[in-house]
Amino acid sequence: MENRRKKVLVIGVIGADVHAVGNKILYHAFTDAGFEVINLGVMVSQEEYIAAAIESDADAIVVSSLYGQGELDCRGMREKCEEAGLKGIPLVVGGNIVIGKQRFEDVEQRFRAMGFDRVFPPGTAPETTIAALRELLHMDGEAV
Amino acid sequence: MSAVLLIDFGSTYTKLTAVDVETERLLGTASAYTTVTTDINEGLEAARRRLEEEIGHRHFDACYACSSAAGGLRMVTSGLVPELTGEAARLASLGAGAKVVGVYAFELTEDDLEEIAAAQPDIFLLVGGTDGGNTACILHNAQMLSRLRPAFPIVVAGNRTAARQCQRLLAGWEVYLCPNVMPKFGVLHIEPTQKQIREIFLSRIIQAKGLSRAQSLLSDILMPTPSAVLQAVELLAQGCEGEEGIGELVAVDVGGATTDVYSVADGMPQEMNTVYKGLPEPYAKRTVEGDIGMRYSVQGIVEAAGLSRVGALSGLTPQRVEQLTAQLRQYPDCVPAGDGELEQLDFALASCAVEEAVRRHAGTISETYTMMGRTFVQEGKNLTGVRQIVVTGGSLIHTGRTAEIAARALYDPAHPESLRPKTAEIWVDQKYILAAMGLLASRYPQTALRIMKKELRHHGYSE
């Protein structure tokens, strides 16, 4: 029989973005931290994240965007999740998610308004994201 | 010398192939009308008499059969997400030689149940969720199916967490538990399910279809005909111990009602700047086009290719094409037999059938521009590097223009998105032995392979 199920994350780089390195690093970091990681790789559409999350009963979706078009690519994702029956699934986004010099607080606010639960600026260490996921998924105190 | 008899109970013809396994020779072939509604043995005996006329009376040491009679193996599948476990279930069923008569995704509705009850499948394949993933959907669907009167076996091959509970929900049904067809996201694991499907076919469906009366004659191998053909082309491509195969291939079987396409090839992206999307497809993949056939499904060809294209290829006016195809639908056993007009039309129809069926089977590539430059997205199998094409079916065998028709399976510069073979050698199954060789391969792979290499007529090179 299976033991307590690992928390399942669906990760990938959204849109027409082919930055593959950070995606691989995150995959290894999350796996080492004890998550079950479904890595969709690069050029992932919103629908692909959602399909993978439904099939695997995922606990959270982690979206990366490195090419500055993140805001366009992420628009409507929360609504699509709701529509697909993934009610309230935690959505996390990070990377170079917007173009130009903008105050991160403003960027964060905009992504929060789009329904993302956590928003991370460029240069975030994987450990920070892992800590945030543990908090979001109420894993504090759990040995993973 | 040691002789083996191979039988293919087709929907129309019962075809026999006699083989000497010691000298590795084809002794002869014969066929007669299938008599599934009365006694299957009548057709079989008629074919045997014809075979004896050809090769004399002979004792056979073994006798193996495959069947697509009485509708073949009809299956209905249900999965969760259409492109994921839904597709995995469909691919598993097709590869097991089934005719998939219904595909469902997400939760089954009451309307779906009515359709399923009306479809009366031979086997139902119930899947959904990766291992440890979603259980709600498959449990709901098991619960829904349990409302029906138990009438067909159900193979459960979804999320392992839910397997036993599905079995309990379906108490009173014949339920078989198999490993998940998609245990992890994007990973297909369909072989155990296919094996189970073939076993059910052997033990249960053969009887239900009146084939058991012939069983006393048979040794033991029985499988759906498409499954035998898949086994043959796999062997032909990959070879076996002591005998080399011909390499990765595409095979096309243009029938009266359907067109089957097989590919035995890896098909993953060949360039660094190509990203693969969607479910990785099986190395040995089969697809069936139910709307593409030379007689019963002739309308589907015309709809897919367009009346003007069929007209252009045949040299007939669109009006004449319409008249003749209507005639073919009405009299499906009509063959050209020297009729010039019908020959031209059959050439055009077969060309369009091959083109359309292989296009649907092959993967596609599309171009996108990213910040990093030009990138390609591939979905499905890339068959451009495949160098062998095997063709079978009456319209390709009984014509002088086989290579021309087969060439329609190739890459078309006008449609660069369709990843079909760029250039290929054409092999023609002129004696209809593919299914028989697939059967023989279960026991005598080397012999089956050598006979195929000898008997398939090499029909030149096309590009």
Contacts of B362 (CB under 8 A, 6+ apart): B263, B380, B381, B382, B383, B418, B419, B420
For A55, the closest of B133, B368, B369 (CB atoms) is B133
- What's the pLDDT band for B71 if we cut at 50, 70, 90? confident
- What's the pLDDT band for B223 if we cut at 50, 70, 90? confident
Percent of chain B predicted with pLDDT > 70: 95
Q: Do B42 and B35 contact (CB within 8 A), yes or no?
A: yes
Model confidence pLDDT, tens digit, residues B249-282: 999 999 888 999 999 999 999 888 898 988 889 9
Q: Are residues B34 and B140 in the same domain?
A: no
- B218 or B16: whose pLDDT is higher? B16
Q: Return the pLDDT at A44.
A: 95
For B129, the closest of A41, A57, A68 (CB atoms) is A57
Comparing A47-61, B29-43, B395-409, B438-452, which segment has the lowest mean pLDDT?
Answer: B29-43
Cβ contacts (< 8 Å) between A89 and chain B: which residues?
none
Q: Are residues B105 and B41 in the same domain?
A: no
| CATH entry, A8-136, from 3.30.470.20, 3.40.50.280, 3.40.50.2000, 3.30.70.420 | 3.40.50.280
Min Cα distance A40 → chain B (Å) is 9
Q: Return the pLDDT at B69.
A: 77
For chain B, what is the domain count?
3
Q: Do B462 and B255 contact (CB within 8 A), yes or no?
A: no
* B231 inside domain: no
Q: Are residues B186 and B269 in the same domain?
A: no
Mutate to test the interface with A, among B135, B185, B279 (most CBs of A within 10 A): B185
* B16 inside domain: yes
User: Which residues constitute the domain of residue B241?
Assistant: 236-462
- What's the pLDDT band for B373 if we cut at 50, 70, 90? confident
Contacts of B168 (CB under 8 A, 6+ apart): none
Mean pLDDT of B122-140: 95
Model confidence pLDDT, tens digit, residues B289-348: 989 999 889 999 999 999 999 999 999 999 999 999 999 988 888 888 888 899 999 999
- B131 or B69: whose pLDDT is higher? B131
Inter-chain contact B277–A43, Cβ cutoff 8 Å? yes
Q: Return the pLDDT at B462.
A: 66
- B44 or B230: whose pLDDT is higher? B230
Confidence check: pLDDT of A2 > 60: no
Position B46, amino acid = A
- B72 or B463: whose pLDDT is higher? B72
Cβ contacts (< 8 Å) between A55 and chain B: which residues?
80-81, 84-85, 128-130, 133-134, 182, 185
Rounded Cα distance between A57 and A54, Å, is 5
* Other beta carbons less than 10 A from residue B68's beta carbon: 24
The last residue of a domain, from among B189, B220, B251: B220
Contacts of A113 (CB under 8 A, 6+ apart): none
Q: Are residues B147 and B118 in the same domain?
A: yes
Chain mean pLDDT for chain B: 91
Q: Which CATH number belongs to the domain containing residue B80 in this structure? A: 3.40.50.360
Residues of A designated as active site: 17, 19
Most confident segment among A1-10, A114-123, B209-218 = A114-123
Mutate to test the interface with A, among B159, B372, B379 (most CBs of A within 10 A): B372
* Other beta carbons less than 10 A from residue B306's beta carbon: 13
- What's the pLDDT band for B212 if we cut at 50, 70, 90? low
- B235 or A85: whose pLDDT is higher? B235
CA closest to B278 among chain A residues: A48
Confirm or reject contact between A43 and chain B (CB < 8 A). Answer: yes
Inter-chain contact B185–A55, Cβ cutoff 8 Å? yes
Q: Return the pLDDT at B398.
A: 87
Chain mean pLDDT for chain A: 92
Q: Are residues B132 and B189 in the same domain?
A: yes
Inter-chain contact A5–B80, Cβ cutoff 8 Å? no
Q: Return the pLDDT at B273.
A: 87
* B226 inside domain: no
Q: Are residues B192 and B272 in the same domain?
A: no
Inter-chain contact B185–A38, Cβ cutoff 8 Å? yes
Q: Return the pLDDT at B121.
A: 95
Per-residue DSSP letter, B317: -
Model confidence pLDDT, tens digit, residues B144-194: 999 999 999 999 999 999 999 999 999 999 999 999 999 999 899 999 999
Min Cα distance A139 → chain B (Å) is 18
CA angle B232, B238, B241 (to 5 degrees): 100
Confidence check: pLDDT of B218 > 70: no
Position B358, amino acid = V
Q: Are residues B43 and B81 in the same domain?
A: no
First to last CA, chain B: 43
Instruction: For residue A118, give Cα distances in angstroms to A51, A62, A110.
Output: 21, 9, 11
Q: Are residues B110 and B59 in the same domain?
A: no
Q: Do B282 and A49 contact (CB within 8 A), yes or no?
A: no
Mutate to test the interface with B, among A5, A40, A54 (most CBs of B within 10 A): A54
SS (H, E, C) B158-223: CCHHHHHHHHHHCCCCCEEECCCCCCCCCCCCCHHHHHHHHHHHHHHHHHHCCCHHHHHHCCCCEE
Cβ contacts (< 8 Å) between B182 and chain A: which residues?
55
- What's the pLDDT band for B420 if we cut at 50, 70, 90? very high
Q: Return the pLDDT at B9.
A: 87
Q: Which CATH number belongs to the domain containing residue B52 in this structure? A: 3.30.420.40
Confirm or reject contact between A125 and chain B (CB < 8 A). Answer: no
Model confidence pLDDT, tens digit, residues B75-115: 999 999 999 999 999 999 999 989 899 999 999 999 999 99
Confidence check: pLDDT of A140 > 80: no
Q: Are residues B430 and B344 in the same domain?
A: yes
* Predicted complex: ipTM over 0.95: no
Q: Which two tokens stand for residue B103?
A: 């595909």
Q: Are residues B344 and B452 in the same domain?
A: yes
Confidence check: pLDDT of B379 > 70: yes
Cβ contacts (< 8 Å) between B369 and chain A: which residues?
16
User: If phi over 0 gives left and psi between -120 and 50 gives alpha, with beta otherwise, what is residue B242?
Assistant: left
Q: Shortest CA distance to B386 belongs to which of B360, B363, B356?
A: B363
- Helix boundaries (H) for chain A: 21-32, 46-56, 70-74, 77-83, 104-113, 126-136
Q: Do B262 and B250 contact (CB within 8 A), yes or no?
A: yes
Q: Return the pLDDT at B183.
A: 95
Q: Which two tokens stand for residue B324?
A: 């003749």
3-state SS, residue B81: coil
Cβ contacts (< 8 Å) between B183 and chain A: which residues?
none
CA closest to A56 among chain B residues: B133
Cβ contacts (< 8 Å) between B86 and chain A: which residues?
none
3-state SS, residue A10: strand
Contacts of B174 (CB under 8 A, 6+ apart): B150, B152, B153, B154, B204
- B330 or B232: whose pLDDT is higher? B232
Mean pLDDT of B124-142: 96
The last residue of a domain, from among B220, B252, B287: B220
